[in-house]
Structure 1
Amino acid sequence: MPKSSFIKEAQSRGFIFQTTDLESLDHVMSQKSITAYIGFDPTADSLHVGSLVQLMLLRLLQKHGHRSIALLGGGTAQIGDPSFREEARQLMTDNTIDYNLKGIKKNIKQIVEIDTHQRLGILTDNSEWLKKLSYIKLLREVGIHFSVNRMLSFDSVRTRLDREQGLSFLEFNYSILQSYDFLELNKRYGAILQMGGSDQWGNIVSGVELIRRMKGEHVFGLTAPLLTTSSGTKMGKTAKGAVWLNPEKCSVFDFWQYWRNTEDADVGKFLKLFTDLPVEECERLGSLSGAEINEAKKILATEVTTICHNKMAALQAQQTAEKTFEQGKLVYDGFPEINLLSSELDQGLPAFRLFVLSKLCPSNAEARRLIRGGGAKINDQKINDENQCINHTYARNGLIKLSSGKKNHILIKLI
């Protein structure tokens, strides 16, 4: 039975997949406050739902009185993490990295407390030390502690090589730099725990071993599981793409709807991982069935959206959904919008083209199939004719609402 409150709750919520030495880590965390970190590479200008487990881990760490470090990978992003990737990432320019960093800083600060006195939460960037490294010094002082044979045994590397995909020397260095990050954060802030997704296990263990070899200190690694839904789909992926935390990339309404559409079997698990509700309440809600499980899904959606955005936006998304799906009213607040030149409708457009232009359908053929199958609506009215002429008469206050099935909606805004 764990002694530390953090390990106890992390286990009960399903956050822990692997640890380097759980018993010793639990003992240390029960005796004193520690500093732990998780790294986030700026591969896009927003984090997505796939990163939410790590952010919630940092949030939970702070709840139990420990200090968290959210490490931005401004330096490692110049190489790119090869872990479990089929091919090398496209190298990013400095301008792209800087732009992406601004976006993910906002995501992190929304969910994890960052304080200027660095008592509870620290936000830092590994470019601060990686860009200053001397290559020869790195090889002599750090590289000497890495075995190529051992690095080739990592699942993340072996999977790539088994597919007969090349692994560049540039990418091969990623593990060394991530390990060096742990060493640097240990020196600067006393960090003794690195956390991350299970795909980072090899890199995390390398950092733990590097500190043991160079400083003779016992530090720790912990990974969370990489999640899939009960039906086997990757967490945070939809037919429309990734579920981003940035509201400009994924509207608050779409974000709320993503969680509202959670499969019944996942409700309890997701409540424990992605909300601050007590574990017992998460389990109670997850055990509901029938119409009651739908109410639990609304609680899940509103709680997660509140954490990732804010309470007001979450409630507005919930109200919009309820009016639309439960009361059958035509409402516009909270739906994603796409602009269309008003002149496009002067001569009218066939209905299938409008669904393609709105990006609800990826192709003309898909749009035609949707309409023929009875899954298309305009202003909540089903259409059966794929060539139905859509003109200005369909606009209400300059907006036309398109629906694909019961869950995907978008507004055409005439400009």
Structure 2
Amino acid sequence: MTNEQNPIEANALMDDLEYRGLIYQVTHREELQKTLNEESVTLYNGFDPTADSLHIGHLLPVLTMRRFQLAGHRAIALVGGGTGMIGDPSGRSVERSLNTAETVADWTKKLQNQLSRFLDFGTGDAKVPAKMVSNYDWLGPITFIDFLRDVGKNFTVNYMLAKDSVDSRLANGITFTEFSYMILQAYDFQRLNKEENCKLQLGGSDQWGNITAGLDLISKTGGGDVFGMTMPLVTKSDGKKFGKSESGAIWLDRSKTSAYAFYQFWINTDDADVIKFLKYFTFLNREEIEALESQHLEAPEKRIAQRELARRVTSLVHGDEAVESAEKITAALFSGSFAELNEVDLNEALADMPTTSAAASSEPLLIDLLVEAGAAPSKGQARKDIQSGAISVNGEKRTSIETVITSEDRLHGKTLVLRRGKKNYFVVKFED
């Protein structure tokens, strides 16, 4: 456990969650509060393997589980090796594509590895280690007849049709496969309640119907007192979907979203959202957040709160070295000089820039290269831009129209960065 993830007193957990805005719906709040104060409660949250990586939309439930663990409770991360082959209709207007068993199994392992970054499964200093399970372990062996007799008989069609996840899909149609998902998730809760004494299920706000179905199943089959709690749907003040950038989803896998792009997503947080996101996604305490809020209100242009948010979340997901790397890249982009970046950081910095290939043996005139790279529409314009001082090569201005680009100009032996004006970058890769 790092020094930024301080334990929460058990009796202060619900108040802390309320302060952070993490409680959207909860069953029997006072009774849950009493239970959390009196014992170490086992809770779970499910993650279906619908891709080979978690994305930042998963951070809210994962970090909320971490808060429970820091308060002395036992967290179970359920990866849906079984339900991932079906597809949850909640929050979707169309049915998911069905993946093969091999694909789902592979993605399940990858998600399990990612979850171990945030939850202590016994390798750290948590008082109560977390546990990882896959619901394929019990959904895979069960027969269809047994499932209908032992589980399906506890649900009426009218009950299921009344759930938002089903009702919202009736106009466009919903298959029996997706219609059954609710019962599968309810069965997960029942199994974990029986075998692990799990008393609380967490989930996003779109999971409320599935969660309460589990509570009803446990009640009908003689289980003990159980609870459900949902977290809010994360929204941005500008109305744009959270977790998306111009290049797509923000993934937790660094090979899918670079640490620099990840850092930039957070540092570009809108002023209206930054304090909310500090509460949601960091382990800063109330006093620390209030101090940042005060600084932010006094001088929003300094983006102090955004920088702290970016540092904290990037460190949590990718480590302190990734923060250092992202800040070096940010400084290089601001100055236009890339010579100090190592090759990995350089590639991350240039990942979204227009890129042109050139022969490794070539040593072209700068004028010609500007045209080939798309930095100038013609040699005439390239000549004017060079003479006016608008062109930089790896951060250094070049004002001679006779400039030849040699192998010595290349960064790490193969990369050249052209800049036209202040913000227009073009990359040339010299390769065989």
**Smaller-chain TM-score bracket:** 0.7 to 0.9
Of residues 52-61 and 395-404 in structure 1, the stretch that sits farther from structure 2 once superposed is 395-404
Cα 1:278–1:354 shift into 2, 3 Å: farther
Contact 1:286-1:293 at 8 Å conserved across structures:
no
Of 82, 85, 91 in structure 1, the residue corresponding to residue 89 of structure 2 is 82
Of 276, 293, 299 in structure 1, the residue corresponding to residue 308 of structure 2 is 299
Query: Residue 167 of structure 1: CA displacement?
Result: 0.8
Cα 1:413–1:111 shift into 2, 3 Å: farther
Query: Residue 340 of structure 1: CA displacement?
Result: 7.0
Q: Which has the larger radius of gyration?
A: 2
Amino acid at match of 2:287: E
Mapping for residues 8-407 of structure 1, pairs under 5 Å = 8-115=15-122, 119-162=128-171, 164=172, 166-287=173-294, 288-289=296-297, 290=299, 293-325=302-334, 327-330=335-338, 332-333=341-342, 334-335=345-346, 336=348, 342-343=358-359, 379=394, 395-397=410-412, 398-401=414-417
Q: State the TM-score, normalizing by the size of structure 1.
A: 0.83
SS across alignment from 1:161? coil
Contact 1:345-1:391 at 8 Å conserved across structures:
no
Percent identity over paired residues: 39
CA distance in 1, matches of 2:205, 2:288: 27
Amino acid at match of 2:155: F
Contact 1:195-1:222 at 8 Å conserved across structures:
yes
Cα 1:86–1:396 shift into 2, 3 Å: same
Contact 2:10-2:71 at 8 Å conserved across structures:
no
SS across alignment from 1:264? coil
Contact 2:356-2:427 at 8 Å conserved across structures:
no
SS across alignment from 1:111? coil
CA distance in 2, matches of 1:378, 1:167: 57
Amino acid at match of 1:84: G
Of residues 66-75 and 308-317 in structure 1, the stretch that sits farther from structure 2 once superposed is 308-317
CA distance in 1, matches of 2:279, 2:197: 29
Q: Unpaired runs of 5+ in structure 2?
A: 1-8, 376-390, 398-404
SS across alignment from 2:61? helix
Cα displacement string for residues 84-134 of structure 1 (whole angstroms, at most 9, x for unaligned residues)? 212111110122112212321222111111127994200111101100112
Contact 1:302-1:318 at 8 Å conserved across structures:
no
SS across alignment from 1:329? coil
Amino acid at match of 2:268: N
Amino acid at match of 2:416: I
Cα 1:68–1:3 shift into 2, 3 Å: closer
Q: Unpaired runs of 5+ in structure 1?
A: 357-375, 383-389
Which structure 1 residue ranges, 4+ long, deviate > 3 Å from structure 2? 116-119, 337-356, 376-382, 390-397, 400-415
Query: Residue 343 of structure 1: CA displacement?
Result: 3.6
Amino acid at match of 1:329: S
CA distance in 2, matches of 1:53, 1:161: 29
- What does residue 387 of structure 2 align with? none
Contact 1:44-1:100 at 8 Å conserved across structures:
yes
- What does residue 366 of structure 1 align with? none
Amino acid at match of 1:83: S
Number of residue pairs aligned between Structure 1 and Structure 2: 388
CA distance in 2, matches of 1:407, 1:125: 48
Q: State the TM-score, normalizing by the size of structure 2.
A: 0.80
SS across alignment from 1:71? strand
- What does residue 6 of structure 1 align with? 13
Cα displacement string for residues 278-301 of structure 1 (whole angstroms, at most 9, x for unaligned residues)? 122113213413356512211111
Cα 1:263–1:3 shift into 2, 3 Å: same
SS across alignment from 1:4? helix
